[in-house]
Amino acid sequence: MERRVRWAKAVVDTLAVDSTQDNVRAMDFIIDNTTDIAIHRLAPKVLPNEQFNTRKTYPARYRLPQANHGYSRAEMIIKIEIFALGSLFYELASGQSPWAEVTHLTEDEIALRFTNHRFPDSTPFAELGTVIEHCWTREYTDVGQVASDVNGICELDSGTL
């Protein structure tokens, strides 16, 4: 688990440096031959005046359902990105995307589960599982808070990371 927490830290540290990053998806990160994680953008960033369509940008397992709840565009993108971070951390911790074991689910069924706060079980991932839950339940308001919690986990485990 220590390596997976280190990967989560690398991801969130990359995003915290540039708060305008968007399009957080597992496919945008690669594990190199040293088992470190690196960003590898496959999708272009959304420019300030472009239409932001989450259905086109994110697979259902990474998509915040009903994303525009009266937030400004900037606030909406942050909420969307933090939700996607939760799904990315889940994939890093478990080795599979959220709800991957339920192969028959449609995108709408996945969105409904997320809308109803029915999330995959992240408790096996200890403190990182708590971060995942907070990402999915919108308890974070910016990536810096996510980074702080992930860095805190790394500090607790500093003897093993």
Copy the structure tokens of residue 144. Answer: 């810096």
| DSSP percent split of the chain into helix, strand, coil, nearest 5 | 55, 5, 45
Q: Confirm if 119 and 93 have CB atoms less than 8 A apart.
A: no
More confident residue, 1 or 26: 1
How far apart are the two ends of the chain, measured CA to CA in Å? 10
Cα 14 from Cα 93, distance rounded (Å): 18
Within-domain flag for 26 = yes
Q: Residue 119 sits in a domain of what CATH number?
A: 1.10.510.10
| Stretch among 25-39, 53-67, 145-159 having the lowest mean pLDDT | 25-39
Q: Is residue 17 part of a domain?
A: yes
What per-residue string of b and e applies to 52-69 under the rule 16 or more CB within 10 Å gives b? bebeebbbbbbbbeebee
Boundaries of domain holding 37: 2-45+57-156
| pLDDT digits 0-9 by tens, 138-159 | 999 888 899 999 989 988 766 5
Could you give the CA distance from residue 67 to residue 63 in angstroms, rounded to a whole number?
Answer: 8
pLDDT per residue as tens digits for the range 68-95:
567 777 788 788 888 988 998 998 899 8
Q: What is the pLDDT of residue 42?
A: 44
Q: Is 51 within a domain?
A: no
Per the structure, the count of domains in the chain is: 1
pLDDT band at 128 (very low <50, low <70, confident <90, very high): very high
* pLDDT tier for residue 134 given thresholds of 50, 70 and 90: very high
Residue with tokens 């409904």, as numbered in its chain:
112
Q: Higher-confidence residue: 54 or 97?
A: 97
